[in-house]
Structure 1
Amino acid sequence: MESGRVSKLDTRTAEEIAIDEWLPVTSSRTAKWWYSAFHNVTAMVGAGVLSLPYAVSELGWGFGVTALVMSWVITLYTLWQMVEMHETVPGKRFDRYHELGQYAFGEKLGLFVVVPQQLVVEVGTCIVYMVTGGKSLLKFQQLLCPDCKPLKTTYFILIFSSFNFVLAHLPTFNSITGVSLAAAVMSISYSVIAWAAALKRGTHEDVDYSLRSKTHVGQMFDMFSALGDVAFAYAGHNVVLEIQATIPSTPEKPSKGPMWLGCVVAYLIVAFCYFPVAIIGYYVFGNKVDDNILITLDHPRWLIAMANLFVIIHVIGGYQIFSMPVYDMIETFLVKSAKFQPSSILRFFVRTTFVVLTTFVAIAIPFFGALLGFFGGFALAPTSYYLPCIIWLIIKKPRKWSISWCINWICIVIGVVLMIVAPIGGLRSIIKSVRTYQYYS
């Protein structure tokens, strides 16, 4: 538990300690509070921020802004819960989401509840980032050289994946600190470009703030889809405990102090990115805004090209953040359950295979983002919105009808509603994406 030496409360064997010091999440506990800040920014402020004006256009002013604010408040609260529960048992750290789930639900049930949902989010996000990185590279090339012969998106996905083939072999969470910092800076930069360029452009005389769809059924499906987009924007909880695991902790100075400071800073940055992009983007373009505001903002060409370059750098870092817990999960199984010897060869094989598989799926299903909107609804809402609340109720046992009890149940109800409606909206997105893909193919 302590940085640099084993705590007196630690009951692990020497072999278990050696394995933990090899695994990517627990091998290094020297991170500072600002590591928490930019890791969380990289995990949270993804390219999905660029779709928020479109989501607001599907929800309207009142409901759209309310959904954004409520999601920010609820997920900040559930983030605080996870930080607090990291060391809820003296002498033990829950370094991984599934370990906390196992403590709350039991060894077998905890794995069944948490691991599938966490893998859907983390693996799915990595695939989406493969597609996003490839398409952003394509857009960057088109902006710089509009007269050049167009290449298929497949080639750009392969180019993007080559960066991840190299960076995947950085061994630990702390070793990707520089990549994560660059990604966090880039996410802030393209968010600022998006809302600043829109604000400079100004609103048009014929701007229309009515809902995109003119039928009640269409408006309902638009609402479901938009809520799924908003939920996806707050999907960083799947790596929170793994980030906190890299921070040193002692009984006198537990890790929750610096971790929570970093989370607060990160969430202030999230608000600085999300709210201006969503509100200004919708204010300027109304219901004519595209599902990526950078597409609507096609001028000035050099600025939009720079924004796409920033997106590329960010999703490279985001891929590392979301893939590291997957590497840790696979490598933990191989060395602890399958009894493989920890080695650089094992690590090389695991990580290379993962990058190959995510690249293959990205190429085979370039509209995978719509699929994630469908399947992700089952995992995004639980892991970020209400699973921490359920675990909190089990572990902390607040008094019935107390403020804590009521807040947690409100979050659970909202999260369950999201879990139901997001896949419905995602199903509609799948149908539209498949039709578009078939048309252009």
Structure 2
Amino acid sequence: MVGAGILGLPYAMSQLGWGPGVTILVLSWMVTLYTLWQMVEMHEIVPGKRFDRYHELGQYAFGDKVGLWLVVPQQVIVQAGCDVIYMVTAGRSLMKFYNISCPDCKPIKLTYFIMMFAVVQFFLSNLPNFNSIAGVSFAAAIMSLSYSAIAWVASALRGVQPDTDYGSRYHSSAGNIFGFLSGLGTVAFAFSGHSVVLEIQATIPSTSEIPSKIPMWKGSLLASIVVALCYFPIAFVGYLVFGNKVEDNILISLEKPGWLIASANIFVVIHVIGSYQVFAMPIFDMLESFLVLRMKCKPSSTLRILTRSSFVAVTMFIGIIFPFFGSLLSVLGGIAFAPTSYYLPCIIWLIICKPKRYSLSWFCNWFCIVFGVSLTILSPIGAVRDIIVQFKTYRFFS
């Protein structure tokens, strides 16, 4: 759950400011913890049946056709979007590591670093399932904790500089407004685990004595506590130290000590190697099921290799074309992450569980829905403007 989006939180704070930034970050953590609990509870809410896919739960709540078309596109955008972001993140971190480790070496384009990361994913993508990437996932989790700690500790050790400014990072009223909206999406992107919760819970055995929701909720609660311990320090300390001059990736702002920052960037790369697969596996399952069941393709290792390699190639190509880390975070955060993490579980809960009108549960769910829908509507507006502005000076494949 501690994903690459954490590296953009100090930048989001510089767009939002202290008061709104702290409020939205804390609210987002509370809302997504609540909706995470709902997802875990609804996995086996129908006796004798397990909703092993997000779209299966959506189909039960909204009907087969509506549920499928309401959930699947959102889920695919989240998972594929994450993998595009991870391509860009890994490429930028590899380039930062290269530049720190060998300052006198010939510069290498970001495109080539993204391609290096893609080569690793071409191999890992042909592993069969979630359990087969358990080791990679464990290493990724350790790395995410490590680079998160390095980012905020190194920032704290650097200390607040005399020229640090917490005023607006923009020079116009329009810039302030659109920047604020973009910051909302960056925060939303950071809370991205919900799209694969049911798929992960499906791998846990369930009995009448120990239903899967018990160990799943323990793990989810621990993960959410770790998220808070990582997110809040890096967001607040990063902004405190760099102010409105912080980069959209906090590790890019940090330069010293060189060996520590280089290590942190390698940790990021190891982390996104595992995270890429966690978000790609459900898409592989979806694509292969579609090709075999609907298109009547014969299941084979050739089909697996072609399907999965094609997905990796597409995410690599998109990452090379649009390497706008901060703006991509915000666009995807608003369009896809807010629905799947903030309010779609609440809508499903209202339909299935039918809490009493004006009860605490009813109010909590409607608050989450209003909060999440606001993020979905507002944040892409600012992010798209940022991308348009960056395109004015951007050179493709540079």
Tell me which of 311, 315, 335 is aligned to 2:268: 311
- Over residues 70-118 of structure 1, what are the superposed CA-to-partner deviations in whole Å (9 max), with x where a residue is unaligned? 0000000000000000011111111111111111111110111011111
For 1:50 and 1:103, locate their aligned partners in 2 and report how far apart those are by CA, in whole Å: 37
**Is 2:320–2:397's contact at 8 Å kept on the other side of the alignment?**
no
**Is 1:127–1:368's contact at 8 Å kept on the other side of the alignment?**
no
**Correspondence 1:160-309 to 2 at 5 A:** 160-213=117-170, 215-309=172-266
- Matched AA of 2:225: L
Residue 372 of structure 1 deviates from its aligned partner by: 5.7
For 1:284 and 1:376, locate their aligned partners in 2 and report how far apart those are by CA, in whole Å: 25
1:83 maps to 2:33: no
For 1:206 and 1:366, locate their aligned partners in 2 and report how far apart those are by CA, in whole Å: 29
Going from structure 1 to structure 2, the CA distance change for 1:53 and 1:375 (only over 3 Å counts) comes to closer
Could you tell me which runs of 5 or more consecutive residues in structure 2 were left unpaired when the two chains were aligned.
none
For 2:329 and 2:9, locate their aligned partners in 1 and report how far apart those are by CA, in whole Å: 17
Report the counterpart of residue 432 of structure 1 in structure 2: 389
**Correspondence 1:404-423 to 2 at 5 A:** 404-423=361-380
For 1:352 and 1:440, locate their aligned partners in 2 and report how far apart those are by CA, in whole Å: 21
Tell me which of 298, 322, 330 is aligned to 1:365: 322
Report the counterpart of residue 61 of structure 1 in structure 2: 18
For 1:283 and 1:152, locate their aligned partners in 2 and report how far apart those are by CA, in whole Å: 32
For 2:275 and 2:376, locate their aligned partners in 1 and report how far apart those are by CA, in whole Å: 24
- Over residues 117-157 of structure 1, what are the superposed CA-to-partner deviations in whole Å (9 max), with x where a residue is unaligned? 11111111111211211121111111111111112222111
Going from structure 1 to structure 2, the CA distance change for 1:375 and 1:184 (only over 3 Å counts) comes to closer
- Over residues 287-319 of structure 1, what are the superposed CA-to-partner deviations in whole Å (9 max), with x where a residue is unaligned? 222222112211111111111101111111110
Farther-moved stretch of structure 1 (136-145 vs 285-294)? 285-294
Tell me which of 53, 56, 63 is aligned to 1:106: 63
For 1:365 and 1:210, locate their aligned partners in 2 and report how far apart those are by CA, in whole Å: 29
For 2:265 and 2:87, locate their aligned partners in 1 and report how far apart those are by CA, in whole Å: 14
- Matched AA of 2:394: Y
Count of residue pairs the alignment pairs up: 398
For 2:211 and 2:300, locate their aligned partners in 1 and report how far apart those are by CA, in whole Å: 31
**Is 1:362–1:368's contact at 8 Å kept on the other side of the alignment?**
no
For 1:67 and 1:241, locate their aligned partners in 2 and report how far apart those are by CA, in whole Å: 26
For 1:363 and 1:62, locate their aligned partners in 2 and report how far apart those are by CA, in whole Å: 36
Could you tell me which runs of 5 or more consecutive residues in structure 1 were left unpaired when the two chains were aligned.
1-43
Report the counterpart of residue 355 of structure 2 in structure 1: 398
- Matched AA of 1:152: K
Q: Percent same amino acid among aligned pairs?
A: 63
- Matched AA of 2:183: A
For 1:231 and 1:375, locate their aligned partners in 2 and report how far apart those are by CA, in whole Å: 9
Residue 380 of structure 1 deviates from its aligned partner by: 1.3
- Matched AA of 1:412: I
Residue 397 of structure 1 deviates from its aligned partner by: 0.6
- Matched AA of 2:105: C
For 1:122 and 1:421, locate their aligned partners in 2 and report how far apart those are by CA, in whole Å: 21
1:327 maps to 2:284: yes
Going from structure 1 to structure 2, the CA distance change for 1:158 and 1:438 (only over 3 Å counts) comes to closer
For 2:22 and 2:332, locate their aligned partners in 1 and report how far apart those are by CA, in whole Å: 25
- Over residues 270-293 of structure 1, what are the superposed CA-to-partner deviations in whole Å (9 max), with x where a residue is unaligned? 011100001111112222222221
TM-score normalised to structure 2 length: 0.96
**Is 2:96–2:252's contact at 8 Å kept on the other side of the alignment?**
no
- Matched AA of 1:220: I
Going from structure 1 to structure 2, the CA distance change for 1:290 and 1:82 (only over 3 Å counts) comes to same
Going from structure 1 to structure 2, the CA distance change for 1:249 and 1:341 (only over 3 Å counts) comes to farther
Tell me which of 140, 145, 148 is aligned to 2:102: 145
Residue 167 of structure 1 deviates from its aligned partner by: 0.6
**Correspondence 1:22-101 to 2 at 5 A:** 44-101=1-58
Report the counterpart of residue 340 of structure 1 in structure 2: 297
Indicate the SS of the match to 1:322: helix
**Is 2:186–2:329's contact at 8 Å kept on the other side of the alignment?**
no
Farther-moved stretch of structure 1 (393-402 vs 336-345)? 336-345
Indicate the SS of the match to 2:392: helix
For 1:431 and 1:378, locate their aligned partners in 2 and report how far apart those are by CA, in whole Å: 17
Residue 378 of structure 1 deviates from its aligned partner by: 1.9
- Matched AA of 1:112: W
Farther-moved stretch of structure 1 (363-372 vs 188-197)? 363-372
**Is 2:151–2:251's contact at 8 Å kept on the other side of the alignment?**
yes
- Over residues 342-374 of structure 1, what are the superposed CA-to-partner deviations in whole Å (9 max), with x where a residue is unaligned? 333322222122112222222233337635633
Report the counterpart of residue 129 of structure 1 in structure 2: 86
- Over residues 202-254 of structure 1, what are the superposed CA-to-partner deviations in whole Å (9 max), with x where a residue is unaligned? 11233222232354332211110111100000111111111111111012211
Farther-moved stretch of structure 1 (422-431 vs 203-212)? 203-212
Going from structure 1 to structure 2, the CA distance change for 1:360 and 1:212 (only over 3 Å counts) comes to closer
- Over residues 175-206 of structure 1, what are the superposed CA-to-partner deviations in whole Å (9 max), with x where a residue is unaligned? 11111111111111111001101111111233
For 1:329 and 1:240, locate their aligned partners in 2 and report how far apart those are by CA, in whole Å: 16
Indicate the SS of the match to 1:437: coil
**Is 1:370–1:433's contact at 8 Å kept on the other side of the alignment?**
no
